């Protein structure tokens, strides 16, 4: 016997746990929106033989509606000790996350085990409003078939473009390492484009641009593979620069849909004391000229920056992206690093007047020193920034934000992932940052890992923190977490549309009045119902 159940995108279907989520029978979506839902299935047979599954879809949406197979992946380290109660499990095991295109190798059913298909509809902006039925039939060789239906109403309102600036750090070296290709070879550029397109599909509109090898998650004294977009020639104390690779990068990114550029950090992580890895050609030999053994405020580096930064600024202006460009000094400095950070920041800002500097930091006093333009506090440290009405405020979360606030680890319910959309709207957040779009190394970049088997940087960070996409055979494969986060961004855009139509108070009235970054409704039903209310209000303006 085959059982089929349509579910919302916020369900997580585990193969070995009996499914308790109720059927999801109808919903609505805006024109221009990407709407997702799932179809879970199981066949209960005494015969221990896997069955091939055939899927038939009948709808008015044609090829705009497709599906992928949800696959479970291992999590050896799902969470830290001392976690809160808003999790699915704290135990190691298999968690549903990976989305694969269906083929003969993954579209099957094992007796007594639940599986899930992820359906996704890209609603055209010119699609006729109205209610449509989607019929899904699954058949298995030797076990008959089962069917289910879902009703989707297309509302006569177009989802507006995303205003939120959104970056998930793009690790160019990890792509080359995993696919075993030469850095900036043609094969590498093909893969970079593939991953950039996946980033844009995820709502990412800003790209980490490695003018030099980013000094991120690197062991002190260690090195990551060189991914340097600026060519450097050194002769005595004079430097000349080749921006041709950077020009190619910018052109490709814009082709893929990227609108904003953040240039990689010009000092090391956690204190700004040293220089990023920089290589140059001198007397025909390429060698490293700056790194962990170089002071970020030393005379040699200052001489280098005094020649580089004006040339880089002129290049950026020539490319026409000055207003869309941002710079970093150092990632996650603490108050004890303030004096060093201010020195480095002062040097950089002197040469890059008119450009904005931003960094992830969580101490309001640090930001109040004036050492940077845009603060990016962690979501569990954002309250003082909100209380002081900091302009152009961003936020981020990573491994450390595992209590109370939203996040997207494997072991967290998808509602905890999606709630961030309402929070970003309520508090007028200008941007969101995350460090791990595709980090495929162990912690501190000591070793390469297989992200299909190691999802926690070798038990360093909770599974799901280090990457949002998987490296498939021909390019990036998406995840449940990435698609649900994109739904959060769509919630934000829909709320912005209601604000435009009916005023901000009308939009805020849809949200839980007590909502903060650490306090919010935990149930998936709250998100689904509030979104339906929002769509009904927008329908009135059609």
Q: Name all domains of the chain by residue range, CATH numbers in brackets.
A: 2-158 (2.60.40.10), 165-222+243-269+296-499 (3.20.20.80)
The CA distance from 38 to 33, in Å, is 17
pLDDT of 511: 98
Strand partners, 279: 288
Per-residue pLDDT of the chain (542 residues; tens, 9 = 90+): 889 999 999 999 999 999 999 999 999 999 999 999 999 999 988 788 888 999 999 999 999 999 999 999 999 999 999 999 999 999 999 999 999 999 978 899 999 999 999 999 999 999 999 999 999 999 988 678 999 999 999 999 999 999 999 999 999 999 999 999 999 999 999 999 999 999 999 999 999 999 999 999 999 999 999 999 999 999 999 999 999 999 999 999 999 999 999 999 999 999 999 999 999 999 999 999 999 999 999 999 999 999 999 999 999 999 999 999 999 999 999 999 999 999 999 999 999 999 999 999 999 999 999 999 999 999 999 999 999 999 999 999 999 999 999 999 999 999 999 999 999 999 999 999 999 999 999 999 999 999 999 999 999 999 999 999 999 999 999 999 999 999 999 999 999 999 999 999 999 999 999 999 999 999 999 999 999 999 999 999 98
pLDDT of 416: 98
pTM over 0.85: yes
User: What backbone torsions phi and psi does residue 381 show, to the nearest 5 degrees?
Assistant: -130, 15
Strand partners, 3: 42
The CA distance from 421 to 515, in Å, is 12
How many residues are given for the chain? 542
The CA distance from 522 to 160, in Å, is 27
Contact 414, 527 (CB under 8 A): no
Beta strand 285-290 with 278-282 is antiparallel
pLDDT of 48: 81
| Contacts for 16 with CB less than 8 Å, ≥ 6 apart | 94, 113
User: What backbone torsions phi and psi does residue 442 show, to the nearest 5 degrees?
Assistant: -75, 170
Contact 457, 441 (CB under 8 A): yes
Contact 404, 380 (CB under 8 A): yes
DSSP state of 324: G
């Amino acid at each position: 016997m085959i059982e089929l159940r349509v579910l919302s995108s916020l369900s997580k279907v585990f193969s070995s746990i009996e499914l308790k989520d109720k059927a999801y029978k109808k919903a609505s979506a805006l024109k221009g929106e990407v709407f997702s839902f799932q179809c879970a299935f199981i066949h209960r047979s005494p015969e221990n033989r896997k069955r091939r599954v055939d899927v038939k879809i009948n709808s008015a949406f044609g090829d705009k509606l497709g599906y992928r197979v949800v696959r479970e992946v291992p999590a050896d380290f799902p969470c830290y000790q001392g976690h809160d109660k808003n999790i699915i499990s704290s135990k190691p095991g298999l968690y549903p996350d990976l989305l694969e295109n269906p083929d003969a190798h993954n579209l099957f059913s094992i007796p007594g085990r639940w599986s899930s298909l992820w359906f996704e509809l890209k609603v055209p902006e010119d699609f006729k409003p109205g209610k449509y039925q989607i019929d899904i039939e699954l058949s298995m060789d030797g076990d008959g078939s089962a069917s289910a239906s879902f009703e989707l109403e297309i509302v006569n309102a177009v989802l507006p473009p995303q205003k939120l600036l959104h970056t998930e750090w793009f690790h160019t070296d990890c792509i080359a390492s995993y696919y075993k290709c030469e850095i900036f070879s043609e094969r590498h550029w093909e893969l970079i484009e593939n991953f950039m397109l996946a980033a844009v599909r995820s709502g990412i509109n800003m790209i980490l641009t490695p003018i030099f090898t980013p000094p991120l998650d690197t062991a002190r004294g260690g090195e990551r593979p060189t991914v340097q977009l600026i060519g450097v020639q050194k002769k005595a104390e004079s430097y000349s620069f080749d921006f041709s690779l950077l020009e190619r990068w910018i052109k490709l990114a814009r082709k893929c849909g990227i609108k904003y550029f953040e240039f990689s950090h010009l000092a090391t992580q956690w204190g700004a004391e040293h220089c990023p890895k920089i290589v140059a050609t001198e007397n025909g030999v390429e060698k490293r000229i700056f790194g962990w053994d170089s002071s970020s405020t030393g005379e040699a580096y200052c001489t280098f920056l005094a020649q580089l930064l004006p040339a880089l600024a002129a290049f950026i202006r020539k490319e026409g992206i000055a207003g869309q460009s941002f710079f970093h000094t150092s990632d996650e400095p603490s108050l004890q690093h303030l004096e060093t950070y201010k020195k480095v920041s002062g040097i950089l800002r002197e040469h890059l007047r008119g450009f904005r500097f931003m960094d992830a930091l969580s101490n309001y006093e640090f930001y109040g020193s004036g050492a940077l333009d845009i603060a990016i506090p962690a979501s569990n440290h954002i309250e003082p920034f909100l209380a002081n009405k900091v302009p152009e405020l961003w936020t981020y979360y990573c491994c450390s934000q595992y209590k109370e606030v939203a996040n997207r680890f494997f072991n967290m319910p998808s509602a905890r992932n999606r709630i961030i959309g309402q929070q970003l709207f309520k508090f007028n957040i200008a941007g969101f940052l995350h460090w791990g779009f595709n980090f495929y190394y162990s912690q501190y970049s000591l070793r390469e890992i297989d992200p299909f088997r190691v999802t926690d940087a070798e038990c360093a960070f909770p599974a799901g923190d280090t990457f949002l996409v998987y490296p498939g055979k021909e390019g990036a494969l998406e995840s449940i977490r990435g698609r649900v986060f994109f739904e959060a961004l769509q919630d934000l855009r829909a709320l912005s549309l209601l604000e435009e139509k009916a005023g901000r108070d009308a939009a805020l009235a849809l949200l839980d009045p007590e909502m903060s970054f650490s306090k919010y409704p935990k149930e998936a039903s709250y998100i689904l119902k509030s979104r339906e209310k929002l769509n009904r209000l927008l329908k009135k303006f059609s």
